[in-house]
Amino acid sequence: MDTRHREASVAGAGMALALGLVLFAAPVLLQADDPGRYLVLDNGLRVFLLEKRDLPLLHIVTGFDVGSKNETDATSGIVHLLEHCILFRGTASRSGEEVGADIRRHGAYFNAHTGQDLSVFEISLPAGEAEFALRNQRDILFDFAVTQAELDGEKEVILEEFNQMEDDPRLNATDLVLQALFPGHPYGRSVYGRREVVQAATVEDLMGFYRRYFVAGNCALAVVGDFVTADMERMVREVFGSLPKSGLPADPLPMAAPLKKSAVQRLERDVKDGYLYLGFVAPDYNHADQYAVNVLTEVLGRGVNPLLPALLRTERDTVQTVDMAYIASRYGGAVVVSIRADPKDIPILERTAVNTLKRAQSESYSKKDFQGEAELYAFDYLESAKNQIRFAFGRADESGLQLAGSLVRYILLNTREKPGRYLDEIGKIDSSDLRKAAAKYLARGECAMVSIVPKKEKK
């Protein structure tokens, strides 16, 4: 719990695979009394403006409905490479160095993430720099230009990112679990892509994706921060209103199918700890089961003293950390369980974790599951999980960049006409909903499993 933990590179183009970034990004703001202003420009750009006046900061997140889901084996990694180049390699009117210098002069945090579904670009800076921020984002996102030499330069950076991911057992295991969880589906490709595709990529490869997907009609923009809504709307219209209107790319994908057979990978690396990652197919972003699975995830593996680590520690007391994340994507979802423990205990924890999750379909989660005196002593896991979700919402309210990212995700992924207020839907979940969700998504036991343990010493 030392606070000098590893931190992500400030301006590194990060991957949305980091679970914290892609966790259930609900329409947090729709809970608020003043939910901000939503508008759609004539060219199809969807915009959400939300005043958050506690600090003189402005956060802008721009998302495009393009991710690794839109790639093929032959193009796997192009979206990630494109995201890097857009962020760091310049535009038709400015070089990458000039963009970087401008960003620095205006005190901006500047980053981007590629995920299975979306590519998102962030800028956060002093509130007085709103016009620069909007014009900069328009320039890099809609007037992108790159030479082959610049592209080749960024390829080497991407290959370094590959190496870094493969050296990090947590990132590596997560990437492998998600690939194994969706065989035959576009989600089964690594968001990082394939080295050989990245190495061979040409400017035309990139521009093919860029021209198709980086258009106003495929984009959502969220602005959160210290501004007056009417002023910001005027500025957004002025900066983005002249973008051409274009048709939306129509390439809907099939929904991800349940895993038919477990896939197990056991790897050895130069690590000291043991890492075990389990993935289960879960409901998609718009599925009615999402609420129950979110609560179930809190009960089992996320919140304060959840069930799963307690049960695993009765089996092996070397279990250090257990976490559980629900990743709700457009065409399917995943529940990923991550466990760190003494390497020698990883094999038995593989079995114990799967069996424990199988039994989740018959657990009692609420006081109401008990009768008589037992009700008095039973712990109400359900109520606890609902409070934990409220707690998470409270935390999200404090971070402007997180709010903006959540809004963009919602605008681009939601397909429900009336999704309802998120906390209201969570409030309706009862213990039987959790058992049904566990039976449907966890009980069959088919999962993608990746373990990473230290290399055996050579004799």
Partner 1 sequence: MKRPDGRALVAVFAAAIMAAAAPGQETAIWKAGPRRSALTTEVPLIFHQDKASAMTVIGLFVPGGRAAVPAGLDGLAYLTTRLTLEIPDEGKARDLMAQATRMTFSCDEDHSLVVIECLSENLEAALRVAGRIIQDPLMTGLRIGRGKEMMALYAQAEEDDAVLTGSNAALKAFFRGQSYGSSGYGSEATLKAIERKDILAFFRRYFTSKSVFFSAVSDLDPGAVQALLEKHFSKLPEGERSEIPAPPPIIPEEREVRLAKDSKQTYIGRAFAMPPPTPDGHAKGTLVEVLIGKGAGSRLWGLRTAERLAYNVDSRLTWTRSAGVLEAFLETENSKSERASDALDRELRALWEKGVTAAELEATKTMAKAAFLRQVETKSARMRVLGQFEVLGLGFDYITGLFAAIDAVSLDGLNAYIQAALAPDKALRVIVGPDGPESR
Q: According to CB under 8 A, which residues from 16 to 75 bind partner 1?
A: 52, 54-57
- Residue from 121, 122, 120, 126 nearest 105 by CA: 126
Question: Is the separation of the CB atoms in 83 and 119 below 8 Å?
Answer: yes
Interaction residues for partner 1, span 268-307 (CB under 8 A): 269-273, 303-305
Residue with Cβ nearer partner 1 (233 or 397): 397
184: alpha, beta or left? (left if phi > 0; alpha if psi -120 to 50): left
Q: Quick check: 346 and 451 in contact, CB under 8 A?
A: yes
Among 39, 40, 107, 428, binds partner 1 (CB under 8 A): 107
- Report the DSSP pairing between strands 109-114 and 263-269: unpaired
**Nearer residue to partner 1 within complex by CB, 166 or 446:** 166
Between CA 62 and CA 160 the distance in angstroms is 26
Q: Which of residues 142-171 bind partner 1 (CB under 8 A)?
A: 153-154, 156-161, 163-164, 166-169
3-state secondary structure of 457: coil
Instruction: Please choose, out of 92-100, 114-122, 235-243, 412-420, the segment that lies near partner 1 by the rule CB under 8 A.
Output: 92-100
When asked if residue 203 is in the footprint of partner 1 (CB under 8 A), the reply is no
Instruction: Report the alpha-carbon distance of residue 194 to residue 147 in Å, rounded.
Output: 21
Residue 96 binding partner 1, by CB under 8 A: yes
Closest CA to 51 of 180, 236, 232: 232
DSSP label of 23: B
Q: Identify the residue among 40, 42, 72, 97 touching partner 1 (CB under 8 A).
A: 97
Residues 434 to 453 in contact with partner 1, rule: CB under 8 A: none
Residue 348 in the binding site for partner 1 (CB under 8 A) = no
Structure tokens at 315: 């089996």
CB of 300 to partner 1, least distance (A): 14
Under rule CB under 8 A, residue 4 binds partner 1: yes
The binder of partner 1 chosen from 40, 74, 92, 101 (CB under 8 A): 101
Contact (Cβ atoms closer than 8 angstroms) between residue 378 and residue 368: no
Nearest distance, CB of residue 54 and partner 1, angstroms: 5
Tell me which residues in 110-129 interact with partner 1 (CB under 8 A). 110, 124-126
Q: Which residue's CB is nearer to partner 1, number 191 or number 216?
A: 191
Smallest separation (angstroms) from partner 1 to the CB of 308: 14
Question: What is the closest distance, in whole angstroms, from the C-beta atom of residue 50 to partner 1 in the complex?
Answer: 12
Instruction: Confirm or reject binding of residue 400 to partner 1 (CB under 8 A).
Output: yes
Residue whose CB is less far from partner 1, 430 or 446: 430
> Which of 329, 352, 356, 388 touches partner 1 (CB under 8 A)?
388
Cβ at position 190, least distance to partner 1 in Å? 16
Please count the residues of the chain: 459
Minimum CB–partner distance for residue 457 and partner 1 (Å): 12
Task: List the beta strands (DSSP E) in 154-271.
Answer: 219-225, 263-269
Cα 112 from Cα 10, distance rounded (Å): 11
Minimal distance, residue 185 CB to partner 1, in Å: 28
Q: Which of residues 320-339 bind partner 1 (CB under 8 A)?
A: 320
Residue 194 makes contact with partner 1 by CB under 8 A: no
Q: What does the DSSP 8-state code read for residue 59?
A: E
- Provide the minimum distance between the beta carbon of 346 and partner 1 in the complex, in angstroms, as a whole number: 13
Helices marked H in 10-107: 19-22, 78-88, 96-105
Question: What gap in Å lies between CA 227 and CA 230, rounded to an integer?
Answer: 9
Mark out the alpha helices in 228-364 (DSSP H runs).
229-240, 290-297, 307-315, 346-358
Q: How far is CA 208 from CA 71, 115, 138, 202, 245, in A?
A: 12, 19, 19, 10, 18
Q: Site for partner 1 (CB under 8 A): how many residues?
A: 77
Within 238-267, the residues that bind partner 1 by CB under 8 A are none
Q: Which of 335, 425, 356 is nearest to 389 (CA)?
A: 425
Choose between 389 and 413: whose C-beta lies nearer to partner 1.
Answer: 389
DSSP output for 272-312 = SSEEEEEEEEE--TT-TTHHHHHHHHIIIIISSS-HHHHHH
Q: Which is nearer to partner 1, 99 or 216 (CB)?
A: 99
Interacting residue with partner 1 among 380, 406, 407, 442 (CB under 8 A): 380
DSSP per position, 149-172: HHHHHHHHHHHHHHHHHHHSHHHH
Tokens, residue 100: 């970087």
CB of 91 to partner 1, least distance (A): 14
Nearest distance from C-beta of residue 407 to partner 1, angstroms: 16
Query: Could you tell me the smallest distance in angstroms from the CB atom of residue 321 to partner 1?
Result: 9
Give the tokens for residue 244. Answer: 């051409």
109 binds partner 1 (CB under 8 A): yes
Angstrom distance (rounded) from CA 342 to CA 334: 26
Closest approach, Cβ 380 to partner 1, in A, equals 6
Candidate list 35, 44, 100, 183; residue touching partner 1; CB under 8 A: 100
